[in-house]
Structure 1
Amino acid sequence: MQASQNLEIQNQSTNMEAETATEEGLSLIKQLASCNKSGRDRALRVLLKTWLPTQLNLHDDHMKKLWKGLFYCVWHADKVPVQTQLIDRLSSLVLSLHLPLSIHYFSAFLLTMRREWSGIDALRLDKFYLLIRRFMASFFALMRNNLWDLELVKRLMGVLEEVTFFADDKFLGNGVNYHIASVFLEELRPYLPLKAEVLEVVLVSFISVSAKVPDKVLLGKIRSNMFDALLGAGKRLLEVKKLGEDVGSGDEVMVFGSIALTMGFSSKFYELGSSPECCQGNRKVLFGLHEEFLKLEKELESSGIEISIPDVVYNDDEVVPTLVPLAGEEMEVGNSEPSEVVMVNGSAEKLLKKCKNREKDTGAADTKAEKKKKKKKKNKKENGILDSDSEKSSTDRENENVVANDAV
């Protein structure tokens, strides 16, 4: 009975603390739209460094309010260095928050950009273009940090499609969609090559978007910035191979060209172009791309040249994101712990286990070494050959071992 009462009191206390933290966060969020720079900077620093990272999840209305405030922080940032630091800081949070909160944060960012897009004047457009580009880079970095887990890739691509390309929010935010389509392949480029099943989710989804969206401008952006670029690379790669010339595995022609030649895009364009879900006005574009890719694939087949997407083995070593400090905030260099920085979706636990195992192994090795040294000293004492020089050299060796172990 007493135990249950104590548990109830503890739960009530926890709930009260959570409510207090939420109220404090909401109070700080209101200050983000302030014209007072010092108050705005202080609220931003506390929210991003202390408050948001401690939240396991956030109510949707609170996340929207947070992003409305963050939007106006970017709006008020006039000097280029301040803009860049702030944008890098906001986008890097995608990599450091707990995974569900990170996805929610990214989704709210897209929604906010679409909602506010029509109110952005021409003088401020460039910094918001940069903001979108940086978030797309973090979007792919989050997939990379999770070793391109197929379920997570599908989930993230689903969020991107639902909140932007297939959004029914009635906002005048098509410019956001256009810019994402324009930079998507460029921001994906540093992470290529990828496994075919990942590319299937990441790229083929844009064929579905091309079939179903009634927006002709978006259709043109997807065609020119993605599939025309892949098609051109495929043609150049085939020409180079016919001439017997070598192409580096990391060369853009090889990376994009192998995708164009091996992913079977022609049949996918034909299938979706023939689908009842395809917009009537989009069929001509899809069938045109079908013919272009089919011609390229047949040319590859008749040439007898073998081209394939290379086998990719994803490294499970964690890549810790570099967080950019806010304006006026010093970057903390010392006493950094990976467990505090890499909060990405439980993969931090794997890293911690590796570190602990390494420590155990090192500790065991050190214990054995010490036992051997003690035994050796004992024998030397018995033989009367232990002198000050030997003690000095032994101490030096021990110090070197300590430094080496610290470095490990």
Structure 2
Amino acid sequence: MSLPKVTVEVHFAQRLASNEKPTRDKTIKKLRLWMTVRSKSGKHAFSEEDFLKLWKGLFYCMWMCDKAVVQEELADNIAKLVHKLHTTDSAMMFFKTFLKTMEREWHGIDRLRMDKYYMFIRRLFREQLEFVKQNHWDKEHIEAFLDVLKQGLLNPTSPTKALGLLHHISDIYLEELTRVGASQLSPQETLMFIDPFCILVAKTRNKSLMKTLLREIFEDIVVHSTVGMEEVLEEEKRLAKEQKEEDGEEEEGEDSEEEDPRLPFDYSAIGDRLFMLGSQKETPGLNRKKMYHMAQQFQDLAKGIYPIPDLEELAQISSEDEIEDDVKLKHKRKQKKRMLEAKMVKGKKAENGGMNGIKENKEENVNDDLNVKKRKKKQKKVLEIEENNSTETDAAIMSKISQKIKLKKKEKVKKVADDSKVEIVDMQEESTKKKKKKMKEEDQIVPESQESLDNVEVTKVIKRSKGAKRKCQQVDEPFAAFQAVSTPPAIVFKKLVAPGTEIKKQKVCRLTDPGSAPPTFKKHVKITLSKNTNHKQSDYKKQVKCSPGIPFDSTKKPSHSALKSTPTPPVKRTKTAIPATKLSIKKKSRRRSSAADFF
């Protein structure tokens, strides 16, 4: 199987999109030579597909380029490739494929690379106009250049999706045209360069695009016109010469300060063209209105009058920018009239009501308010009764049951209060319950005798109710208090029994063993959050003043430093000579004792 052959254009595109800068620079140099040789030979003319392949590589060559100076140099080198093409068809084909690739890849450009491509488009437009300039602004070359724009981005029948690209081109178009051909173009030629934008303004349906074209092309011409500024410019030149003579800086030859280049325009021809396109049936109503307004301004410039809009006109224009058609404007006006009429009727009613209210007494107004409130309450009650009678929901039944339960609880609490001695005891927490279970298993349960039960209270365990909690909370308690908690037998409520009364049932009591250790006590802190208050600043200052110690004293020194002490080196002990007697004693003491030593 033979592999498909790679064409020269694909090979160049792969090398141009390389990650390494030296390979990209070498391929651009080789591409320049290859394009000159191929265009001179005339045997193999460039096709649109060939240029699209090359532009794919050139686009990503610009994508991989970094640093502003390097990017500008690369943009100039790519844009100057147009001059290596010796035929107008190939040069315009090169420009057409460039616009196609930019339109295709426009939405893939991120915001960090957008400025780089803005500059790239500007440089390529400049070099394309330079190519037309080298041919002495020939009519054929100008028409070929404008046909590329009309068939591509400025085509009103098939609008482009890359609107950002079209906005940028309309922004730079006149600037680059003045830079290249301000001194050589005639008013008729400049009208030819502006004509595609006149057609697009007349036929476009995009409101934002129409605004940018009017602002960047036509309003810019009006702003940079010299109508009515001749006297001012002459005075500025005269003042500049006087200052130079006073300073003694006379320069020979041409002046150092050059005048700003300005394109020559035939204002009456531009106004007629806009009026003719705006008067066609196909133009939308909003576009027609804007074009007539611009045509009037150009007619004023042709007469030598600089168009200065009044403040009222500016206010009307700003309000009418949001309206797309004349029908919407009429509809809004009708709505405003209706709103004003409604406000007038409300105002009259309020005035009549206010006059009647002043005549009435204050007491009558108060009584009326009370009557209205009573009526509303009665209406609410009637609605509630009707709802209950119609359908009793489950929620209503549950509410009745809950009321009965609450009444029974209240009766039980009253009975307990009537008793002589009742002690309300806290039920221990979950942790203490576990301890009680263990103690019950260990302890023995012994029945008490009847004699001891004479002075014993009858046990009645009652859990603390919600009412008891509320009573306990009302008692004044300190913010933090220690409470001794032990693990004795279960705490119960007991009733005193008078001596002589017979006890029917024997009660069981839990006793501890006599030899068992006393119960351990643990301290628990009970914190009442209701007593939690902020410490006032005034109290803090009083406390500091009354305290015996001084808060800060510069003469005081700490008892010990906070830093660690430096480690002292260990003392080396020198070996001294030991007498023989001591050595013999040591040896004897080290000997292991035997059985004979004990007899």
Aligned residues: 276
Distance 1:126 1:218 in 2: 21
Q: Contact 1:212/1:279 (CA < 8 Å) preserved in 2?
A: yes
Distance 1:167 1:68 in 2: 26
Structure number having the greater helix percentage: 1
Distance 1:137 1:263 in 2: 28
Matched with 1:239 is 228
Query: Residue 195 and residue 271 in structure 1: after superposition, are their counterparts in 2 closer, same or farther (change >3 A)?
Result: same
Q: Contact 2:268/2:299 (CA < 8 Å) preserved in 1?
A: no
Which structure would you say has the larger Rg? 2
Alpha-carbon shift at residue 196 of structure 1 (Å): 2.6
Which of 23, 27, 42 matches 2:11?
Answer: 27
Q: Contact 1:118/1:172 (CA < 8 Å) preserved in 2?
A: no
Q: Percent identity?
A: 28
Alpha-carbon shift at residue 155 of structure 1 (Å): 1.2
After superposition, the C-alpha distances for 1:283-329 in whole angstroms (9 at most, x for unaligned) are 2221120122222223459xxxxxxxxxxxxxxxxxxxxxxxxxxxx
Which of 48, 70, 80 matches 1:82?
Answer: 70
Q: Does structure 1 residue 192 correspond to structure 2 residue 179? A: no
Q: Contact 1:93/1:102 (CA < 8 Å) preserved in 2?
A: no
Q: Does structure 1 residue 202 correspond to structure 2 residue 209? A: no
Distance 2:139 2:228 in 1: 33
Distance 1:244 1:81 in 2: 37
Which of 97, 116, 123 matches 1:127?
Answer: 116
Matched with 1:276 is 281
What SS does the corresponding residue of 2:303 show, helix, strand or coil?
A: helix
Distance 1:219 1:255 in 2: 24
Which of 244, 265, 283 matches 2:270?
Answer: 265
Matched with 2:46 is 58
* AA matched with 1:225: E
Distance 1:295 1:167 in 2: 29
Distance 1:173 1:202 in 2: 22
Please give the root-mean-square deviation of Cα atoms over the aligned residues, in Å: 2.8
Q: Does structure 1 residue 294 correspond to structure 2 residue 299? A: yes
After superposition, the C-alpha distances for 1:373-403 in whole angstroms (9 at most, x for unaligned) are xxxxxxxxxxxxxxxxxxxxxxxxxxxxxxx
Distance 2:58 2:67 in 1: 17
Q: Contact 1:182/1:225 (CA < 8 Å) preserved in 2?
A: yes
Distance 1:120 1:244 in 2: 45
* AA matched with 1:155: A
Q: Contact 1:64/1:108 (CA < 8 Å) preserved in 2?
A: yes
What SS does the corresponding residue of 1:264 show, helix, strand or coil?
A: helix
Unmatched tracts of structure 1, length 5 or more: 1-19, 302-408
Query: Residue 247 and residue 148 in structure 1: after superposition, are their counterparts in 2 closer, same or farther (change >3 A)?
Result: farther
* AA matched with 1:145: Q
Structure number having the greater strand percentage: 2
Alpha-carbon shift at residue 83 of structure 1 (Å): 0.9
Matched with 2:140 is 151
Q: Does structure 1 residue 255 correspond to structure 2 residue 262? A: yes
TM-score (norm 1): 0.61
Alpha-carbon shift at residue 157 of structure 1 (Å): 1.0
Matches for 1:8-407 after TM superposition, within 5 Å: 23-51=7-35, 53-55=37-39, 56=42, 57-98=45-86, 99-166=88-155, 172-190=161-179, 191-193=181-183, 194-234=185-225, 237-241=226-230, 245=234, 251-252=259-260, 255-256=262-263, 259=265, 262-299=267-304
Distance 1:134 1:105 in 2: 14
Q: Contact 2:16/2:28 (CA < 8 Å) preserved in 1?
A: yes
* AA matched with 2:51: M
What SS does the corresponding residue of 1:172 show, helix, strand or coil?
A: coil
Alpha-carbon shift at residue 185 of structure 1 (Å): 0.8
Unmatched tracts of structure 2, length 5 or more: 238-257, 307-599
Query: Residue 38 and residue 296 in structure 1: after superposition, are their counterparts in 2 closer, same or farther (change >3 A)?
Result: closer
Q: Contact 1:91/1:138 (CA < 8 Å) preserved in 2?
A: yes
What SS does the corresponding residue of 2:229 show, helix, strand or coil?
A: helix
Distance 1:80 1:293 in 2: 41
